[in-house]
Amino acid sequence: MAEVVVLGSGTSSGVPTLGFDYEATFLAEPKNWRTRPSILIVGPTGRLLVDCAPEMRLQLLRERVTDVESVLVTHGHADHIMGMDDLRGFCLRTGRPMPVYAYPDTQEDIRRVFPYGFAAGRPGLLLPRFDLRDVPEIFEAGGLTVRTFPLIHGTMPVVGLRVGDFAYLTDVSEIPEPSWKHLGGLDTLVLDAVRYRPHPNHFHLARALEVAGLIGARATYLTHLSHDFDHHATESTLPDGVRLAYDGLRIPL
Ligand SMILES: [Zn+2]
């Protein structure tokens, strides 16, 4: 069955965040433990990983994932690329470089952070290998058709994507006008909502709810969540059809 697995639903620092104290009741709720943002799109013939969070290895072990066909990196911020080193396991399994779709600026970030993913390897060394590819408007992954379109994240472009009637909009502060046409008739939307206060690079909760209303998906899950949000307390305040994402959430495609 085709489905989306939310691997991580947390903001860039993860939740709980280092350096803060939390109420025991907050820590006792498993859905308040959020790893960095990433999803896995599971198709009939393979899996597309969207972003490589610092916890990527643990996320994929948790979900019992032993192979990934290709990777889409939405942008080059640390919380979206720092897990890429662990793609080495999949390169070893297939004997091929991992196809990684990314915008040109993100490709530069990846080359800067992981130069050894492109260097000629010495025999016996287990290194990741990345096959960087430009982001097509439409491509096939895992037997599914993926549509991409740009979003704005502060000042940088970020890849938004749609598969069937599902769309994923992480790290967004503005949806460019031409991208709106890809957001009609959605069954499920996963949308950035980082915190209560406005943020220069992200939708905050009030803005995310406005945008969710404009898009009008049957169900909207908010993601990239900070510790502002206690899962159950926050969900009880949300409008019908809007929920908080959590690590391990599964959405049928
Ligand atoms: Zn970001």
Domain containing 85: what range? 3-118+125-252
97 CA distance to ligand 1 centroid (A)?
25
Residue in the block written with tokens 């959605």? 186
How many Å lie between the centroid of ligand 1 and the Cα of residue 124? 35
pTM, to two decimals: 0.96
Centroid of ligand 1 to alpha carbon of 136 (angstroms): 21
Would you give the end-to-end CA distance of the chain in angstroms? 8
Question: How many angstroms does the Cα of residue 121 sit away from the middle of ligand 1?
Answer: 31
Q: How far is the CA of 202 from the centre of ligand 1 (A)?
A: 8
CATH for 219: 3.60.15.10
- Give Cα separations from 108 to 32, 165, 190, 243 (angstroms): 34, 32, 27, 35
38 Cα to the center of ligand 1, angstroms: 11
Model pLDDT, residue 120? 74
CA of 75 to the centre of ligand 1 (A): 7
Distance 105 CA to ligand 1 centre (A): 13
Structure tokens at 88: 């080495």
Q: How many domains does the chain have?
A: 1
Q: 78 CA to middle of ligand 1, Å?
A: 8
According to the model, what pLDDT value does residue 119 have? 80
Q: What is the C-alpha to C-alpha distance for residues 129 and 111, in angstroms, rounded to an integer?
A: 11
Q: Could you report the average pLDDT of every consecutive run of 10 residues in the chain (253 residues)?
A: 96 98 98 98 98 98 97 98 96 92 98 92 78 98 98 97 98 98 98 97 98 98 98 97 98 96
Q: How many CA atoms lie within 13 A of 104 on its CB side?
A: 0
Task: Give residues whose Cβ lies within 5 Å of ion ligand 1.
Answer: 77, 171
